[in-house]
Chain A
Amino acid sequence: MIEHLPVLLVVLPIVGGALPLVASLYTDRAGWPIAVVAMLGHAAIAGLLAGQVWADGVVTYAVGGFALPYGIELVVDGLALAVVALISAISLGVLAYARHAGPHENTFYSQLLLLVTGLTGMTVTGDVFNLYVFLEITGLAAYGLVASGRAASAAVAALKYLIIGTVGASLYLLGVGYALAATGTLNMADMNAKLAAVGYDSTLVLTAFGLMVGGLTVKVALFPLHTWQPDAYANSPDSVSAFISALVSTVSAYALARLLFSVFTVDFLTAVPAARWALIAVASVSIVAGSALAVSQSSVQRMLAYSSVSQFGLVIAGFAVATPIAVVGATVHLVGHAVMKGGLFAASGIIERETGADTVGGYAGMGSRTPIAAGAFTVLALGMVGVPPAIGFVGKWYILVGAVEAEIWPVVAVLLLSTLLTLAYFARLGERLYFAEPTIREEAAVADGGEGSRGPRSSSDRRSGGGEGAVSAGMLAVVVIAAVLAVALTAAVPALEQLLNQTLPPLIQ
């Protein structure tokens, strides 16, 4: 049993995902408990695997017992484990939030577990084609979740996401074809050795790199390919936008790192400087353009979405710099961003439910009306800017140090500039929240039916299944925990670093 843990990590959520649909025959509210049980199991398996990885370094598994490198291999190392733990934790947080915030339908929980399956699969797989399959499972579940919003615009946003996402995944598949033609294998470790034998400057290898990395940057939503993201985040229910913003792009960025270090390796980046500089250029443009677009938004959710474009530019830049310290920094920022952005979307959902405010102008004076959510929002926002005790600072600092060490000055300049821009858009929100006169009047909430604490029904109805009270203690607890984690995770960085130091040296010489 114990040796089957890696595959159970994927099997458990996919089987769990089928159960709410079956349960629909009897009751339409069985989804939540099933999802919670499945995710607790997922977390328990991740915990057991953590013990094994800590002891052995890497846990590998041949699916179905087919001899490697012909069969599909699952690989759990320190880097993968950090992402799996993140998926478990965020999913449980989102479930706690969705308990009250909805959607309550069984299908929502099926899709959520399916999304967890895809994300976990992408994280643990050691096979480039298997990665494509999990990428598409993730995509399909995410399109469905975005479309679960009540508003008609949710379907339009989901279709846009689907078409752009499919082109991205298809480009990745085409790249897999070129890599297969060059090496005759799909196993990552095997391909790693054979690519070096083929020669890094071979046209086939370069084309494969361009298509695979290009396809994944669509999924990560780097600048020119990010257009699906703001619509998708802004039109989905707040549980969904918290979940997707925290995990989908994160795991795609992880997959890109896996491709860079486990398949193409740092030697490839050294042998083909053009590939490294192309990646750094895309990442840098993404950092600046994402921040600039975020500053110009009036809708808070769209602002947060554009902020992701910029933050993922930072993560990819860290991976492209590819010194050990920069890679640790990029991983820390990847995990930290997921916690902070998920928390920010959850907090913005609560603020909207309690006060009806969903624009930067509307946030004026809301600090006193929703003290807990606004406080958590501010802490998370400051963490995102990179104010020292928060995890956002540690990630950026490591990437900065790595870039200085490698003497890649454009990244240094862009990183410092982006911190200023990030401060610009989050400081503007903080100033609105606490130091401005309210533009939304209290009686607007009362006229909508209910006390101030119940919030305007119109907006909560639009965004969710419409609960009785607008906000539950569980929802507040989730954003407060996210805010605490944004600071407390800093203490976990040395442990993460140690975990990565067991993993990375073979990958980064």
Chain B
Amino acid sequence: MTFDVLQVDLLTSRYNYYAVVLLLGIGLYMLIESPNLVKKVIGMNIFQTGIFLFFISLAFRSGANPPVVTKGGGPYVSPLPHVLILTAIVVGVSLTAVALALIVRIYSEYGTLDEDTLEELYYD
């Protein structure tokens, strides 16, 4: 298989998907690797942001109009993913709020945000 013009074009023009992969990777890495609970939650948020960007990228169509019905007419950008992501952002905010509330309680009970220290206290 040769790298024909089309595929090079694909690789260079879809740079927002690189950003998606990068965000998903960074988020997941922080979530797993960081011992700090707050940073874990930040990682979780970055991971979700990657998914949001993925959906928004899906909706894009080059040369299309915003999905507002005007005299000009279509083609339009798909409005559906935007609506979905609006919902998903709300869900993400609620999750972050609950996670931070739990972290506040953990900190006031154990006095630490470090996962390894917590593990030792937890299994006493």
Contact = CB atoms under 8 A, between A and B. Distances in A.
Contacts, number: 72
Contacts of A503: none
B58 A180 contact: yes
B102 A170 contact: no
B42 to A, nearest CB: 12
A143 B94 CA distance: 12
A140 interface: yes
Interface string A89-101: 0000000000000
B58 A181 contact: yes
A262 B105 CA distance: 42
B31 A129 contact: no
Given A152-B106, A158-B102, A133 B87 contact: yes
Contacts of B51: 170, 173-174, 177
A32 to B, nearest CB: 24
A167 B94 contact: no
Nearest to A158: B102
Contact of A152 (B37, B48, B103, B110): B110
A167 B102 contact: no
A159 interface: yes
B91 A162 contact: no
Interface in B77-104: 80-81, 84, 87-88, 91, 94-95, 98-99, 102-103
Contacts of B102: 143, 147, 155, 158-159, 162
B58 A140 contact: no
B95 A162 contact: yes
Nearest to A151: B109
Contacts of A60: none
A33 B87 CA distance: 32
A159 B37 contact: yes
A135 B98 CA distance: 16
Contacts of B109: 152, 155
A163 B42 CA distance: 11
B26 interface: no
B118 A140 contact: no
A136 B88 CA distance: 10
Contacts of B81: 177, 180
Contact of A170 (B48, B84, B118): B48
A166 interface: yes
A153 interface: yes
Interface string B45-64: 00110010011001000000
Chain B: interface size category: 20 to 34
Contacts of A181: 58
A156 B106 contact: yes
Contacts of A342: none
A125 to B, nearest CB: 14
Nearest to B124: A153
A475 to B, nearest CB: 28
Interface residues of A, number: 26
Interface in A144-182: 144, 147, 152-153, 155-156, 158-159, 162-163, 166-167, 170, 173-174, 177, 180-181
B98 A144 contact: yes
A177 B55 contact: yes
A155 B105 contact: yes
Nearest to A164: B31
Nearest to A144: B98
A162 B91 CA distance: 13
Given A140-B98, A162-B98, A174 B106 contact: no
Given A152-B110, A153-B122, A155-B102, A167 B31 contact: yes
Nearest to B94: A140
A177 B98 contact: no
A143 B81 CA distance: 28
A18 to B, nearest CB: 15
A174 B91 contact: no
Contacts of A173: 51, 88
Contacts of B80: 180, 186
Nearest to B54: A177
B6 to A, nearest CB: 17
Contact of A163 (B40, B106, B118): B40
A156 B122 contact: yes
Nearest to B107: A155
A108 to B, nearest CB: 15
A329 B102 CA distance: 39
7 contacts: A129-B84, A144-B98, A152-B106, A162-B98, A166-B44, A170-B47, A174-B51
Given A136-B95, A152-B110, 10 more contacts: A143-B102, A147-B102, A155-B102, A158-B102, A159-B106, A170-B48, A174-B51, A174-B54, A180-B80, A186-B80
Interface of B: 24, 28, 31, 37, 40-41, 44, 47-48, 51, 54-55, 58, 80-81, 84, 87-88, 91, 94-95, 98-99, 102-103, 105-106, 109-110, 118, 122
Interface of A: 129, 132-133, 136, 139-140, 143-144, 147, 152-153, 155-156, 158-159, 162-163, 166-167, 170, 173-174, 177, 180-181, 186
Nearest first, the 10 A-B pairs at minimum CB distance are A152-B109, A155-B105, A159-B102, A136-B91, A155-B106, A155-B102, A174-B51, A177-B55, A181-B58, A177-B54
